[in-house]
Structures are given as structure tokens and as C-alpha cells.
């Protein structure tokens, strides 16, 4: 004769509806992160906090631009280059955007091959992504040096509103720092993938359990976020 299993009193209670149910999920940790690793969950929480920071920066930029009584510099002229005697507005910014958006494609393929456990293709695609990111940072450094030579400073610029320099260096510098850290992170993980650390359980940072390439996806989450933020910076700062 089989003995019926005893159930915990809490398991027999119905799940509350609405906000009470949402609060119960997050408080008990029974459903919210049940199928999500802590590494991925913490990355999402970090990206959410970073979203607030970039959002505040862009709001500050829009407030400064709309409230100033001094003419705002024309981005098409400020960020133009002379190539072969031809005046080309925003050409460098367009190339930077293309490079960074292309890196999202290579990163997505790296995640795909990572879960297929094809470590060589995963490592190569991550290295290509890092190369795209390093190229972006290099072009941004060229852009900064050009504007500094032309007299742009955090406290002023020769073309109009003084807030232009401070918002430009703050927003693009903060984003460029994120890209730089992303490139370093990509190189570290790509090296571990290439060596087979996720197959041999070699000790070290970001190795995780055997056969688990989830860190590649976590790296991809960060990288896609950096790319998405640049789309907003491009739209608000360079096209407005």
C-alpha cells in the first residue's frame, strides 16, 4: 500500500494575483530565477542599473541643449572630415556606428557556436568582435584628439554653447570606457574558450562548470547593451 506524499502547506496555497504575485515571486525566489543562473541574472541587474545612468546622461544632455540661449554647434559641421578635398559630414561617426553594429553580429554568432561547443569558431568570432571594439575605440580617440586640437574643452568650444564640450566628453567617454572594458572581457573569455578551459574545468576566473559556455552569452549580453546604447547616443548627439 503506497503512502501519499506530504506537501508543504505553502505549496498548496494559490499564487497571489497581480502585484502581490510579483512580489511573492521575487521574495521567495521560487519562479523568478528558477531557470536562470546567478551570473546571467546579475548581468541583467547590472545592465538595468547602467541603463539608468546612461538615461540620466542623455536627459541631462537634452536639458542642457534645450535650455541654453547660446546657439548649439551643428554636429554635421563639427564632426565633418576633409577627405581628398571633399567635405564629408559625419563620415567618421557613420563608420564607427557600422563597425560597432557589425560587432553585434559576430558576437551573436559566437554565442551560437559556444552553445554548440565549437570552441575554435567561438574564440575566433569573439576575437573578431574584440577587434571591432578596439577599432571603434581607436576611431573615438581620433575624434577626441581632433576636437581637442580645434579648441573643444569641457568648459567651452569655439562654435557656441559651452555645454557642448562637457556633455560630449562625458557621454562618449563613459560609453568608450564601457567598450574598452568589453574588449578586455572578450579577450579574456576568448582565450579561455580557445584553451578549452570550459571542457577541462581548468581553474581560473569565469571558467564555470565543465561544458558550460554560458559566460559567452553573458559577455554577449554586455556587448549588445553597449551597442544599443551607442544607437541612442548616435541619434540624440550626432543626428539631432
Q: Which residue has the higher pLDDT, 200 or 99?
A: 99
Kindly state the cell numbers that stand for 168. 560630449
Average pLDDT of the chain?
85
Which three-class secondary structure state does DSSP give residue 161? coil
What was the pLDDT predicted at 215? 87
Q: Is the pLDDT of residue 30 over 80?
A: no
Q: Which residue has the higher pLDDT, 17 or 42?
A: 42
Residue labelled with grid coordinates 550626432:
238
Write down the domain spans for the chain. 37-238
Kindly state the cell numbers that stand for 90. 559625419
pLDDT grade for 116, boundaries at 50, 70 and 90: confident
What was the pLDDT predicted at 121? 93
List, for residues 50-107, the tens digit of each pLDDT value: 999 999 999 999 999 999 888 888 888 888 888 877 888 889 999 999 999 999 999 9
Q: How far apart are CA 57 and CA 63, in angstroms?
A: 10
What was the pLDDT predicted at 136? 96
Q: How far apart are CA 24 and CA 165, in angstroms?
A: 47
What was the pLDDT predicted at 19? 75
Which CATH architecture is the domain 37-238 placed in? Up-down Bundle (1.20)
What was the pLDDT predicted at 9? 47
Q: How far apart are CA 41 and CA 44, in angstroms?
A: 5
Residue 180's region, left for phi above 0, alpha for psi from -120 to 50, else beta, is: alpha
Amino acid at each position: 500500500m503506497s503512502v501519499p506524499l506530504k506537501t508543504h502547506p505553502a505549496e498548496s496555497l494559490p499564487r497571489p494575483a497581480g502585484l502581490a504575485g510579483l512580489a511573492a515571486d521575487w521574495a521567495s525566489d521560487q519562479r523568478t530565477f528558477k531557470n536562470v543562473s546567478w551570473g546571467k541574472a546579475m548581468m541583467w541587474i547590472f545592465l538595468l542599473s547602467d541603463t539608468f545612468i546612461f538615461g540620466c546622461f542623455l536627459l541631462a544632455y537634452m536639458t542642457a541643449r534645450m535650455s541654453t540661449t547660446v546657439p548649439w554647434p551643428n554636429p554635421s559641421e563639427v564632426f565633418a572630415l576633409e577627405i581628398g578635398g571633399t567635405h564629408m559630414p559625419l563620415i567618421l561617426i557613420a563608420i564607427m556606428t557600422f563597425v560597432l553594429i557589425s560587432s553585434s553580429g559576430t558576437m551573436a554568432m559566437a554565442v551560437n557556436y559556444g552553445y554548440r561547443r565549437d570552441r575554435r569558431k567561438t574564440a575566433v568570432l569573439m576575437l573578431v568582435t574584440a577587434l571591432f571594439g578596439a577599432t571603434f575605440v581607436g576611431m573615438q580617440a581620433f575624434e577626441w584628439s581632433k576636437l581637442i586640437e580645434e579648441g573643444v574643452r569641457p568648459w567651452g568650444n569655439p562654435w557656441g554653447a559651452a555645454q557642448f564640450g562637457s556633455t560630449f566628453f562625458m557621454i562618449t567617454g563613459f560609453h568608450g570606457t564601457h567598450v574598452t572594458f568589453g574588449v578586455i572581457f572578450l579577450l579574456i573569455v576568448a582565450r579561455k574558450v580557445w584553451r578549452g578551459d570550459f571542457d577541462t574545468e581548468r581553474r581560473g576566473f569565469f571558467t564555470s562548470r565543465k561544458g558550460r559556455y554560458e559566460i559567452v552569452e553573458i559577455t554577449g549580453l554586455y556587448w549588445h547593451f553597449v551597442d544599443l546604447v551607442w544607437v541612442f547616443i548616435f541619434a540624440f548627439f550626432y543626428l539631432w
